[in-house]
């Protein structure tokens, strides 16, 4: 259990760093989605399935979607 938790937390840390290091917003939205998924997994390992469900739905789907749509709008407007 502790090993699993450590592995998941390290994955979350790596994904979080990857989000910061990704400089293109479009790529960043996808990496952030992956980070949201891993964070949901961490909540699941920490025995908080309710929170994990919210995290996966919002962090892995809704938030990247909003970023993508906003990017589409901004890029269209600036051209």
Partner 1 sequence: MTAAARRRAFLTAAPLLAAFLVWGLSGLPPVGDYRGPYGLVLNQVAVAERHATNVVAAVTFDYRGVDTMGEEFILFAAVTGVAILLRAMRGEAERPPEEQARGRRVPGTSNAVRVIGLALLGPVMLFGTYVTAHGHLSPGGGFQGGVVVATGALLVYLSGEYVTLRRLEPESMIDLAESAGAAGYVVVGLSGLVAAGVFLANALPLGRPGTLLSAGTLPVINLTVGLEVASGFVLLLSEFLEQTLVLRGTGSTGAAPDPPGRPPAVPRTPPGGSPDPSGRRR
> What size, in residues, is the chain?
79
* Least distance from partner 1 to the Cβ atom of residue 22, Å: 19
Give the Cα separation of 51 and 26 in Å (integer). Answer: 27
Q: What is the dihedral of CA 10, 3, 64, 58, to 10 degrees?
A: -140
Q: Does 26 bind partner 1 (CB under 8 A)?
A: no
Binding mask 27-56 for partner 1 (x = CB under 8 A): -------------------x--xx-xxx--
**DSSP designation for 46:** T
Q: What residues line the site for partner 1 (CB under 8 A)?
A: 2, 5, 46, 49-50, 52-54, 57-58, 61-62, 65-66, 69-70, 72-73, 76-77, 79
């Amino acid at each position: 259990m502790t090993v699993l938790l450590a592995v998941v937390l390290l994955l979350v840390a790596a994904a979080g760093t990857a989000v910061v290091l990704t400089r293109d917003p479009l790529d960043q939205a996808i990496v952030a989605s992956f980070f949201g998924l891993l964070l949901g997994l961490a909540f699941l390992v920490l025995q908080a399935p309710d929170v994990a469900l919210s995290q996966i739905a919002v962090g892995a789907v809704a938030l990247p979607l909003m970023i993508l749509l906003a990017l589409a709008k901004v890029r269209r407007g600036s051209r």
